[in-house]
Homo-oligomer: A and B are copies of this chain.
Amino acid sequence: MTTPPDASRRRIYMDYAAACPVDERVLASMMPFFADRFGNPASLHSAGREPRRALDDARTKVARLFNAKRKEEIIFTSNGTESNNIGIKGAALRMKGEGKHVVTSAIEHISVLNIMKALEKAGFEVSYVPPTKEGFVDLEELERSLRPDTVLASIMYANNEIGTIQPIDEIGELLEKKDIYFHVDAVAAAGKIPIDVQRSKIDLMSVSANDLYGPKGVGALYVRDGTRVEAVTQGGGQERGLRSGSENVPAIVGFGTAAEIAMVEMAGKSKRMTALRDRLIDGILGGVEDSFLNGSRERRLPNNANLRFRFVEGESMLLNLDMMGISVSSSSPCTSKSLLPSHVLLACDIRTEEAQSAVQFTLGKFNTAEDVDYVVEVMPGIIEKLRAMSPFSQENIEEMRSTAGHRDSEHEHDAE
């Protein structure tokens, strides 16, 4: 049986990939720019001076976190999605004279995949490199997909759903040799693992502030000096013409503070997250029969635990966990309204029913070992209850178990 919900217990939020609270130091740094130093950084008079300086300062801090050579290589945007649009569409369209072929992986974030569809409509050919079962982009597969007319490859740093960290250095090396632009969607990875755009030979990289406990509504695109990109929207020419519109100074200042904090605290936080993550994964795999880890056990984001549970449905599990005071996602937050199984899990060769049973835990700063133990404690009861209900009756489960166990033995290593 499930433990009854305890009304006095604070809610446990394990969905940091969907949204993060703003760090109190970040918010404090933003406050003076709302109503006091509110000027437009483009203004020539003195009210523009402090916002302009603050903008510069934030740009330096974000550049440092990713080891950009110059702060001018950082373009502030309104979020990771917009960064992806400028970085992928802007570069591909700008380069279309050199070739109209683009490469990506089948497990990119929905925004990247939808941008690829738009490029296809605009006459580009797109190759989708399939991942391994653990969600790795295979280097040889990637190399095979490259053509003389390939102008850009976009591979995410780490997967937002299953947390798998890609061999970004090796991919960067390969693409540089072939003289192909390398765009990296680093929204899920930024602030969690160290990123070095120079070492990884990245030309374009998208990040979002909120994933670093910065504010919503601000992101950045790293554009290596000399990389040719065209604007996808037009306006007053701010951010080197790549992202027009008066700069959102308070949010950008907050992003700078969040980047500065990440520089100092990331290593310690990641160590703590990794321990909690492993406690959660081990606890659930040990406590729930027919549960499996999605993604790689070793090369995964420190805060990500994505598991699937045979014979149950992820959405019901999410709602049951919610009733127990636990917030998690059933799939990518951006598509969580849809009942479709995750395209990431399907691409990793997981069957539809099992993909639909996935629950994604993303840990964050407020989570404790006690939280993890509580989740580990309530999971078996919830799963048991759900398995006792339709659409999988007890007999069905027995039957499916015998077939599935046979059919899926090749997947067992996912949860080794």
Binding site for B on A (CB under 8 A): 11, 13, 15, 18-24, 27, 34-36, 38-40, 42-48, 51, 78-82, 84-85, 89, 110-111, 114-115, 117-118, 210, 215-218, 232-238, 244-251, 315, 318-319, 321-322, 326-330, 332-337
Contact = CB atoms under 8 A, between A and B. Distances in A.
A22 B35 contact: yes
A79 B233 CA distance: 12
Contact of A334 (B216, B235, B249): B235
Contacts of A329: 43-45
Contacts of A44: 315, 318-319, 322, 329-330, 336-337
Nearest to A234: B114
Can you tell how many copies of this chain the complex includes? Answer: 2
B118 A234 contact: yes
Nearest to A80: B245
A328 B234 CA distance: 26
Nearest to A337: B42
A332 B335 CA distance: 40
8 contacts: A20-B38, A27-B35, A34-B215, A39-B327, A45-B322, A45-B327, A79-B248, A81-B233
B322 A46 contact: yes
A81 B46 CA distance: 25
Contact of A40 (B19, B246, B315): B19
Nearest to A39: B19
A360 to B, nearest CB: 11
Contacts of A334: 42, 235-238, 246
B43 A15 contact: yes
A80 to B, nearest CB: 7
Contacts of A82: 78, 233, 245
